[in-house]
Structure 1
Amino acid sequence: MSDPQDPDPQNAAPPRAGALGRLGEEASLLCYALQFLTRLPIPSAAAGHGPDRLARAARWFPVAGALVGLGAGLVFAAAALALPPLAAAALALAAGMALTGALHEDGLSDTLDGLGGGFTRERALEIMRDSRIGAYGAAGIGLGLLARAGALAAFAPMEGLAALVAAHAAGRAAMIPAIRFAGYARAEGAAASVAGGMPGGAFPASVLLAALVCGAAAGWAGLAALAAAYLAATAVLARLLRRLGGYTGDGLGAMEQAGEIAALLVLAALLPG
């Protein structure tokens, strides 16, 4: 009989990570979220690897969005001091797309082309894989840029900075309910690994992070913008579920764009003056 004070090392539980280890892991997950959502040069060693990495990092999407919004907002605040509001808005939008590689605009375009031009589920998914842009996609990107630029033009420099931080955080947060609760429409894809794989506490954590960021940036107006972003993205998700039976990576981009636009419009109505 083995000595109970000398357990088999193979059966022993692994040591728990300390507080510093946990903080380091969360920082690594934030780096992974930034690596996935932006073009920032995040080293792979900082982001880590693993099949469940994206699902665990999704709760940090609002913070990643806030950092993109901060970059775009700083451009807006500086440009608005010397340029007309619409020109400053255009530069801020360009900065945001440069930071993300127009990732979400591309998703919006592909989603609209697929849903608008595909009369069957299979055809819609095929069109969404096509890198070429169609009439629905071009119109959607144009209208989205017009709506965002028009909303930004209503802000004073520092208001615009706050609005962009809140709107970008809200837009990324708006993707997470689909990741947590909906199924993926394809058997494989860039975002397939995250479908249904979020830990149980990750979704509430993402809502809390989004609320903290949006509230800190724009007060109660930021919280109203976050609610509007969730509603807009839910409407897009409902359409995808009806047509495709699930979401896709492009669909997540469309949800982000719908959420970001809705958030900016609400902030334009509530913040100025």
Structure 2
Amino acid sequence: MTGSDRTAPASRPPAADGAASAPRSSNPLRATLSDIALALSFLTLVPVPAAALSAGSMARAAGWFPLVGAGIGTAAGGVRAATAPLFGDAPATVIALIVLVGITGALHQDGLADSADGLGVRGDRERRLAVMRDSAIGVFGMLALLGWGLLLLTTLTPLSDAHVLAALIAAGALSRAAALLHAKATPPARRDGLGAGFTVHPGALAAGAATGVAAALLAAGPARGALAIATAALVAAASVVWARRTLGGRTGDTLGATVALCELAVCLALAASWQ
């Protein structure tokens, strides 16, 4: 799930690509730990030893994406709580968002920008896909990133540290679960690229969805957790409809955009419920 089809899994840590098709280890615990390590190395810039990835499979590792997303949200929320007493809520929220984006290498924001450029261009499906694959970010991409950042900043700044942490955990987990649903419900738009190569094992999809739901309920409580889950489901459904109608299927960019938009939507919904 990268933010761009310009980068296949091999553009993340080299071991991830080789591990994607690795046979399942005879040791279930080792295989599970390798899958978790593969999910972590694929979604973040956290260094993971190549040996830890040797028994991993990307189709199974995808089930751990929501857990990694919850961890990213925890890190960003923890930074907000740690820095707010020093700098104030607004600067601390900016720092937290830098962590949120930086820990993934702007993986999903790149997909959001490219998807916005593809949506804004005039032309047919092939023209849109060509624009999305271009390394340059256009006006629509810049506007999408600016809107995403400003909306998330102004949404989280007024919230208490505890609410920011809860929102980012729920958003981090559910957004990755939404991307798994997007991947499962849309065919590849191209024969090459990450969108074509990224597959999700049915068991991994079920595990990822369950993890996302559990994280949201634990972080935000039953009622608000249910609101976050419903919001994420709506974003996932909308992303599937958009990708199918506009591009003919998924790409790495649409997967990344789904994560970014779902994070924002979940935070908006929870912030509204706390007003």
For the superposition of Structure 1 and Structure 2, which TM-score range results when normalised by the shorter chain?
0.7 to 0.9
The whole-number CA distance in structure 2 between the counterparts of 1:253 and 1:56 is: 19
The whole-number CA distance in structure 1 between the counterparts of 2:40 and 2:260 is: 17
Note the C-alpha offset of 1:81: 2.0
* Equivalent pair of 2:186/2:243 in contact (CA under 8 Å): no
In the other structure, the counterpart of 2:69 is 65
In the other structure, the counterpart of 2:50 is 44
For residue 118 of structure 2, the aligned residue among 103, 114, 117 is 114
Note the C-alpha offset of 1:49: 6.0
One-letter code of the match for 1:258? L
In the other structure, the counterpart of 2:3 is none
In the other structure, the counterpart of 2:16 is none
* Equivalent pair of 1:229/1:258 in contact (CA under 8 Å): no
The whole-number CA distance in structure 2 between the counterparts of 1:183 and 1:48 is: 28
* Equivalent pair of 1:237/1:255 in contact (CA under 8 Å): no
Note the C-alpha offset of 1:167: 1.0
For residue 243 of structure 2, the aligned residue among 235, 240, 245 is 240
Q: 1:224 to 1:48 in 2, by over 3 A?
A: farther
The answer to whether structure 1 residue 213 and structure 2 residue 240 are counterparts is: no
For residue 182 of structure 1, the aligned residue among 168, 181, 186 is 186
In the other structure, the counterpart of 2:5 is none
In the other structure, the counterpart of 1:204 is 206
The whole-number CA distance in structure 1 between the counterparts of 2:155 and 2:218 is: 20
Three-state SS of the structure 1 residue aligned to 2:158 is coil
The whole-number CA distance in structure 2 between the counterparts of 1:142 and 1:153 is: 16
For residue 54 of structure 1, the aligned residue among 49, 54, 58 is 58
Can you list the C-alpha shifts for 1:168-191, whole angstroms capped at 9, x where unaligned? 111111101122222111111124
Q: Radius of gyration: which is bigger?
A: 1
For residue 31 of structure 1, the aligned residue among 33, 37, 41 is 37
Note the C-alpha offset of 1:75: 0.7
Note the C-alpha offset of 1:73: 0.9
In the other structure, the counterpart of 1:259 is 262
With normalisation by structure 1, the TM-score equals 0.86
The answer to whether structure 1 residue 249 and structure 2 residue 249 are counterparts is: no
In the other structure, the counterpart of 2:228 is 225
For residue 144 of structure 1, the aligned residue among 145, 148, 164 is 148
Structure 1 alignment gaps of length 5 or more: 1-15
The whole-number CA distance in structure 1 between the counterparts of 2:169 and 2:203 is: 24
One-letter code of the match for 1:217? A
The whole-number CA distance in structure 1 between the counterparts of 2:254 and 2:152 is: 19
In the other structure, the counterpart of 2:88 is 84
One-letter code of the match for 2:253? D
Number of aligned residues: 250
One-letter code of the match for 2:214? L
Note the C-alpha offset of 1:214: 1.4
Structure 2 alignment gaps of length 5 or more: 1-24
Note the C-alpha offset of 1:192: 2.4
One-letter code of the match for 1:264? C
Where do 1:7-18 residues align within 5 Å? Answer: 17=26
In the other structure, the counterpart of 2:197 is 193
Q: 1:77 to 1:119 in 2, by over 3 A?
A: same
The whole-number CA distance in structure 1 between the counterparts of 2:232 and 2:84 is: 26
Identity among equivalent pairs (%): 40
Can you list the C-alpha shifts for 1:150-171, whole angstroms capped at 9, x where unaligned? 1111211122112111111111
With normalisation by structure 2, the TM-score equals 0.86
